[in-house]
Structure formats: structure tokens, C-alpha cells
Structure 1
């Protein structure tokens, strides 16, 4: 459940919107208050689908059918307007986690919960099928775990999307891991298809993995058609046998819903005097109900106090500025971050401001839904310090994802022109070329608290046209380096500024002079001890000339690694003097920063391939080196290389799924990969590099 932003509606039809619950392929889902005072989950479809006549006709037909579904395990449709400019549908709200969320957070369900899950899913499908519908997209994310039994949601809506602009542009609605063989082959779908998905969903609950394991979508579909499911997590006995038959390749060999319910009579059920869910999940339900009550109370307070707060907040902000303090004030229904009148006590030249008493600010506002969901501006990914969130960064793009839930939780708006993130979760967000408040160039230092982003400091350039860029944070967050402009008469010189963040002072200016005349610097980074600064340098024609190394205290040259061109580099996370150097686009060697000595030649990657290697990336422990690739010719399979840095052994010889920039998990359990061709982020298993999750 997330606070509303400036882009979210406050009412839809007769319903008052209280909070955002999430988003999916069809649109956004909100917590709403009905005119009668009840809570509802309101789905507002995406604008592009709303403009598709075929979708609107299907959506209206499926909503009419969904209204006929009734039962204790299928939340009822309470209202809808399929003729609205943006169609919507509201269903009974169930304060409960999804099966996907519960398993990702607490692990697989115990064996005694599985029969109740099977029975509940079967009874829910029985109600859906009785109304003349088929679910078509039953999966862990569409099952809510309530104390009274599993609740099946989104029944019938997959049919509405078929053949629309969403599927015609190559996107999919549904999850390949739970799709039946006949759906893959494009044959007629029947209730037996839902039976196949039911069994796959139960296997996920038992094992924490899809029924045919984690794999890229194409490989998953092949396994569904050709291989047997993994039933090992279900204890031997009648339930495992039943699930095996539900996963038969041919729909005619699967039991129907009535047969499943009859066979469950032979399966031991838990004592009715005990909850069917494990304790941690039951606690999650309790917390969700508390949050639900809090959202209702907060919405009521905002409704009655909005005029007074609007005036009072402005007065409070003025008082704080006058007193030299700092606050980020968010008006009810609005978003925080960066606008004038946001309560920021702006410092003077080189000044700094910090959060009042270290308290976190409110979540930055979301930008437009269309821009958020497009990753075309993204060029980097990184994990949060605890590994639970993924930052997706780019030019005027910074999003935070809860990757286990598959949901975006924050989007900086106004978007910084560039960002850098260190291993401690400090974020340097640059607002350059006069894009900051009062048209000033500034750098905001934010901290990831695990919830809202907290603003810790603001570094302001008093000079016009400084245009800071390429931010680099030291590992401890006390130093920040940026490339900047300095005016010398009518000439603009490019320099590197180093800031002392706690003091809010520029402590060093490094001219871009050396063995060659440099004009630009890219990929600026601090070494692990924060004592050296490294960057790729180029000339007026943006040809990469080499990699330069400076002493942070003095600005003196330490070493210069000259071409051949297309250089990229990675700094070792623990050994300050070790750097991986990419030369000529395909050769990698480990070098000593101080002397330039080659420590180990790792060899070439991607030989005779149209793919172009990106800058290498070390694993968090420094024991592996990843080399992702991009393809200017549009090939579909982009495969990178992985080395063991201790031995030089090639662990993956041009066959690792690394179709873009990569970011290692802090404990190397996973690897995030930005696939800009497919507009998605892949989360890979850190050991075997198979796909664990996809964000898009």
C-alpha cells in the first residue's frame, strides 16, 4: 500500500481513492472507499488500452460475466464503468498478502497448508467456471492468503487483453511459468487449463519455485511442453499424485474441478481449530488490516484538514528557513522533492542543508505512469545495501523497485539529470543546467532508509552555467566528485570538483590537463579507500583517449592508461589499487592503478561477435568479474562473459545472460541486469545466472 501522488486520481466514479495498491499489465490498482463506506480494490485500466475499441468491448463483456461470480473465495465485483473515458472496475477489498509475496518473504508454506490451498483454489475456480468464465491467468500473484481461505482475484480479465495493443506490441499478459501447454500452442482454452495453473501455483507454494524451475521465458515454455514438473517439495501421497495428474500435458488427462474436490476427501486436512496459515503470514494479515485502518483514518483527516494544512505548512516552512533549519514539507495529496516552496532552507554558495533531526522526508512524487514504466532512458542498475530494492538509473530517470514484490516504490520527480549510489545507500542526485529550484545547479544527497528517501544535504552552485555532471560518491559518503564547467573569459574549461559533503565545501579543483588535452570525463569513480579518483577521458570529438587516475587530496596525476580506444573500467570493491580495464571493446586485464602493471590478463570476450562489451563490473566480494554486452544490430540473444578474478579462469565463456549493464547483490546472491532492448530488469541467481524475476 503506497501513498497517493500528484498523478493519481482522488476520485473514480463515486468512489474516493485512499491509496495505491500496485500496478500490472492492465493498469493501476487503488484502495477506494465506496459511497456506502466499504473498502474496494479499484482497477483503473491503462490509457492505451482505454483507447482500444476491441479491449473496451472485451472488458465490458468480461466485467458483466465477473459480476455473476459469487462465493466466499472470490472477491465480488461491487461496481464498474466500462463506458467511462478510462474504464474501471471495483471489487471487494481483501487485506491479505498475495501467495507470491508471502512465499518470497517467509518461505514456502508448510505441508499441512497445501491441502487447504488446493481446496480453496478449486472452490474459487468452481465459482468462476459456473459463471461461464475461465481465469486464464491463475498464478501466485493472483491468490490472496486470507484467514478464511485463499482468495482468487483478476478472474476473466486476461481474456479482455487478448488481441489488444498490449499484446500486439509484443507484451504478454500472464506469467509463462503457470501457462498450460494448450495456451502455449494457441489451442482452445478450457477449464482444464485453469486446473494446470492451479497445480503449478500450489507447487510454488510448496517449494518457492515455479513448477518447471527458474529459467528465461523461452526456456520455461519449452520445459512446460517437454519436461516433467518438479514435485519433490510435496510429500509423497495422495496430494502429490493429484497434482501430478493436474499437470498432465494433455487437458483430457487432467481431473476436473469436481474430481479434485472429491479426491481431496482422501487427503489429510489440518485441525479446524488451528489457523491454516503459518504464524508469520497471519501476522502480515494483521499488519495489513492495521494499515488499512490507518489509511482510512488518514484519508478522513486529510479531507477535513486540507485547507488549514495548506496554509499552515507554508508558514512552518518560512519559520524553519528563518531559523536556519531544514524541512521538506509535503502538502496533503502532493509529492515532495525539489520544487520551490517545498520547505527547503537554501544555502548560499557551496552551502549545505541537512534533514531536520535526521528525519526522513516523504516519498518523492511519481512522474507520469507512461514515463515511469518506460526504461528507454535507463542506463544502470544497482541493489540497495540490504538487497531488497533495486535502483534503476539513467538520464533524468531514477526509480526504486521492491523487486521481490515486482512493484515500483519511488520515482524521483523532478528527475535528476544524473545520479550515483555508493554501497551504503547514499544517493547523489544532480540537478544541472539550471533544472534545480530557482534555476540553480545543485546536488542533493539522499539516503535510503528502507522506506522513504531521506534528504541529508544539498550542495548548491552559486555560479550560473556550472552544469555539474558525472557524480561520484566516495565509499564513506564524505566526498563527492563531479565534472563541471568553469568560465575563463569567453572560454569554458572542463574541470573536476571535489566536495567535502559534511562541510558543504568544494575542497579541490582538478584541471583536465595531462598527457592529452581532455574535454570530457565519463564513468568517474572513487577507489575503495576513497584516496584516488578514476575516470575515462575523451577529446572534442568524444573519442575515448584513456583512463586517468588522480590523487584526491592533491589533484596530482597518479597514472594514465592510454588507449587503444573504447576503454571501460571497474574498480575492485576491496583492493584500492586493483582495476579491471577493458581495452578495444573486447580485451580485459587486471592492472595496478599506481604503477600501471598488468596483474592478470583475462583475455578476450565476444570475439567475432557483433555485440559490443560494456564496462566490466566486479561482484560485491571482488571474486568475479562480469562483462555485459549490447548489440547495435538488434540481435535477440545478448550473452556476456564471467571470470574468476583470483585465478583468471573463464567461468562463463560468452554464454551468460547479460544483455546490458549489471549490478551485483551486496551478498552476491543475485545479479540485476538492465535489458534495454526488452525494457525490463532481469534478476538472476547469483550462482548460475538463471532468471529469478523480471521487472517491467
Structure 2
């Protein structure tokens, strides 16, 4: 008796072509990559086959213009890239480069010459038994590597299985549609929907049925070879509990060492297609011209209106940028200064200009208290960096009226210096790049910090890397800057350590990426690198500890303790670093459930009040009806907050859906919290009552 799969195996059209010529409006270059042909498109992006000087071929996905203007999409795009970076193993295409901060975000993933499964079957017919077994093993191994770090592929389709001359390769999770609508093969979708490892297993079996039959109707099951029939049947069970795991599949197929070599006749067909693709690769790289930038920016359209907020008219109190021919990796202090931080507290008057006028619509994004507790820094979407005497409810200073794409903020632990990240537009560079600027209030000096930068190119041109995050050491002696290196570089130094006493780069840390940075003490730096958190001694430049199985690239350190708070699968763990034991955990069921939906979810804050033993966690989901006037902010999204008490394990915000749903900052006598409307609530930490508000 032939069992009909639980999913609906209805006939569907298959992609009409594997590669198409470039359209006249396609940009010739994206980042360092020259586009050679179109591979396809979905509701989010367009995909191209591309190559660059001394680089293997890649698949470049570029956000559609209408998506590039959507801050929710941009955040989800960046999050997808972070997830994809954690993937390792030879059976899943790697992310080799990306830029989520570009006016038009893009990502490049491994895509060797060859074809995809859909195109091969359409052109040459179903796979032989030996080729089918090799396909089954490599794709199962690819799923197992994804599932081992807690991620599902979500779009396992014939067009997402790449075939090169030696192997099959699952497309990167970065190549999946962010809203799940990239669904050419709905017949291969599990009955419960995509997004889980069990769903991937169902789709894996359905893809094998297609590979052996060339059809997506029930006849595919009937044509499955007998030695694979039982495996496939078990994967197509209606109940997810009855399906094997990807690891089980490997064992059922003969183990990880089972042969995955293509049979000769199959490999020769793949080679023929690969040779055709190689003919597209120019023998010598074409020179880049200024026209490509205009064409790519033209693609962005309205994205530029939102992203490239004018940086002109900004008056810097002091700017230290090395624009010469030497590496941008060092910063020279002004002659005669004793350091970048003035020895004065925040009780002194600011040397920065007074506020230009009253604030009517604050639209706060971030909050941070000064080390003496006198000032509250508020990162405003509408008014840049604003500093407040929070007790009086009066604005103290406004060091910068506009911050394009405001990101992290942090006060130095000594003096009265605040640092903030923002986007910088450079007419000589295709993409904007993110920098950290320190504002020393007593002196009025504003210093740009670019971190580790590559040397000038052969023609003297500079390509500046974007910055991810930064952190001051607990004594203020160091400022760590995390950059996004080129993923094709052999020597990746993603973190630079600035000696704040001299202004020079004293150390660089050899890391592939650095998304979140936090100092534990005077010299130990924690770095979230994508799936791991590594601890470094910045004075020696040596890694001293590594924490694995980390799901999110957000963390918080506990001041004065050898402890860190991080996110693992479905929970927050408060960790003792001495033996990596978990002191306490808090569930993230609501966030995890929302994150698995088509809309997704993203974290807007994770912070700790070590003195009181409190953990704050807040997150956002896309609003069903966002206000177009509030694009780029979080106030039109749905936001949610938790405040756990370590001693009791109780969520102090349970039942309160409006309080502390966005970033917060702690003082012994008050909690500052960005509210849903973009103002800042001042909250009594004992009663959790709002006693006052700013904005």
C-alpha cells in the first residue's frame, strides 16, 4: 500500500531559468563584487551571481528598494545575517560578506559554479539511485549542522539545494525570504508550516521525492528506491513527534562517513554547467567607476531620504580623523593633552552649544546615566544626543543636533564623556559606514573613532569598515571598538583597543566578528561573535575563555562580579564565569514564540541592575499598521518587557503590558525607561510607579 504524504503534493511550476542576463537597471557592482547574472528574486530581495578580485563566486542578495526603507526589514535582515554567521560545516553555504548598514542592505553567500537541483532535474531528468543517496546524506548533514545551533532552514526547496562538481550544498539561511513568502514549492511545505527542525525534515523528504521523480505529486513517493523508502516515509508523517531528527537521518543513511561522491556520469553533467558559468567570469577585474554608485543609490530611491540624513551643518568641537595614506588603525592625540577624558565630573557646565530650542517630540531611542548620576543621556531620533538634568527635568546640553542612524550609547566611567554610534556618509565610498564618537563635555571635544581599518588600496582609495559596538573598560583606560571586517580577509581583526590616555590603538583582537562588547573589569573584554561569547585580555591580546551555545548576540555583564547574562535556547542565563555554572535562568517563551512567526521579533534591550539583582529584557514585533512618519523608530511597533527579580525569580512586570517595554537605565534611586510613545519614564525602583517623565 502506498502511503500518501501528509502534506499536499500538488503540481507546481519550476523556476524557468537558473541564470538570467543582467537588467539594464541592475547595478554592475555591489560592495567589492561584480554582478555577472541574475539568479532570481523574491518579495524581499533580488539575487545575483557575482565575483570579485581574488574571491570565489558568490550569490549576492540585494534588498528591494521598498524594503530598504523599512526599518523593521533592515533589523530583521541584520538579525538573519547574525544567525547565518553561526552556521559552520561543509554542507551549508557560508556567509562570506554583508553590509546591513548600507542604504541598500546586501549579503554575499557561497555559491560555487554548478546548478541547483530544480534546474538539473528540469534539464536532465530525475537523479540516479547513487546520486540520490549522495544528495540525501549531504543535505541531511547540512540540516543537522543547522539544527545543532538551534536554527531551522525554513525554506528547503529544490532551488535552494546547490549542486557543484563535488557535493550538494544547502543554501544559507541568509538566502531565505524574511517573511516566508519565497514559496515556489508550496507542495513541499509540511502540514504544520515551516520554521521548525521537524518541518525541515518533512521538506527534506519531499525534496528527495522531487529529485527521484521530477514531480511534486504523490508519484514521487512511489518512485523512491526501496532502501530509502522507509526513511522518507518516516519523515512524511503528519505528527512532528513521529519524524526522525536530522541526526537520526544521517545514521539511517549509513552514518556521517557514508559516501557522498557523485557518480561519474552525474558529475560530468554538473561540470558541463559549471564550465558555462565560469565563462561569465572576466579574466581581469573590471575597474570600478563612479557610475555604479549612482545606479545603486538610484535603486535605493526613498531609502536615501530616510538613511542618508544630512551630515552637513554638524559642528564638531574637535575631530581626530586620520585621512592620510597610513592605516586608519591608529588615532593620534592632540599634542600636550594628558588624555581624551577631562578630569572633571558632570557638575561643570558643558562646553558644547546650548540646545537650539525646546523639544516638542523627543522620540527617545536609548537612555544612559552619567557615572555620577547627575545627567541622563537620551538618544533621540528627532534631536540627536540630548543630556538632561533629570531631577529638574531640564535639558543640560545637546552635543549634536542630529545623529544619523543612532545606535549604542555609553558614558565613560570617569569624567563626563559620553559615546554614541552613528552613520557617516562619504561621497568617495559606496556605502555609509558607522563610527563611534566620544563627546567630552567639559572640553567640548568630539572625537571620531573608527577602530581597525584596512590600509589604502593600490590607488590610494580608502574603504572604511562599519562599526558594530563599543565599550569602556571599568576604569576608563580603554575603549574597545568592534568593526565588521571583510569576511574574505585572511587576517580578521574585528576589535581595536584604544588607550584613552594616549588616543592610540594599543591592541587588536583577531576575531571574525564583534556584535556586542562589554568590559568585565579593567582588562577583560567580553565579545559576542555569533553563536559564542569570547573573553579577551586586552592588555595581552589573548583569548582567555570561550562560552558556546549562545543564541543571541546580546549580553550584559554584572558590575563588580565575575558574571555575565546571556541568551540561550528559549531562556536567559545568569552565568558564573569561574565554572560557567548557571546561577539562575528566566524563560523567554513569549519572545521565542514570536520570533518563530513570519513577522519575527527582535531584542531592544538586555540590561542588569546587579545591586538590586534585576534583569530587564524587552523586545519588539512589527506593528500591523505602522505610522509612515515614524519609520526608523520603535514606538509604532509592538513592544514587550520583562523585569525579573533574581532572588525570587518573579517577573515584576507580569500583568503590566505598558511599563518598561523599551531600553532602560538604572540608578539606586530611579529607573529611566523609554516608553512606548518615545518619552522617558522616571520610575521608583521600589514601587515601580512612574513618578515623572521627560518628553
Question: Per the shorter chain, which TM-score range?
Answer: 0.3 to 0.5
Instruction: Point out the structure with the larger helix share.
Output: 1
TM-score after normalising by structure 1: 0.41
- When the two structures are superposed, what TM-score results if normalisation uses the length of structure 2? 0.41
- Which of structures 1 and 2 has the bigger CA Rg? 1
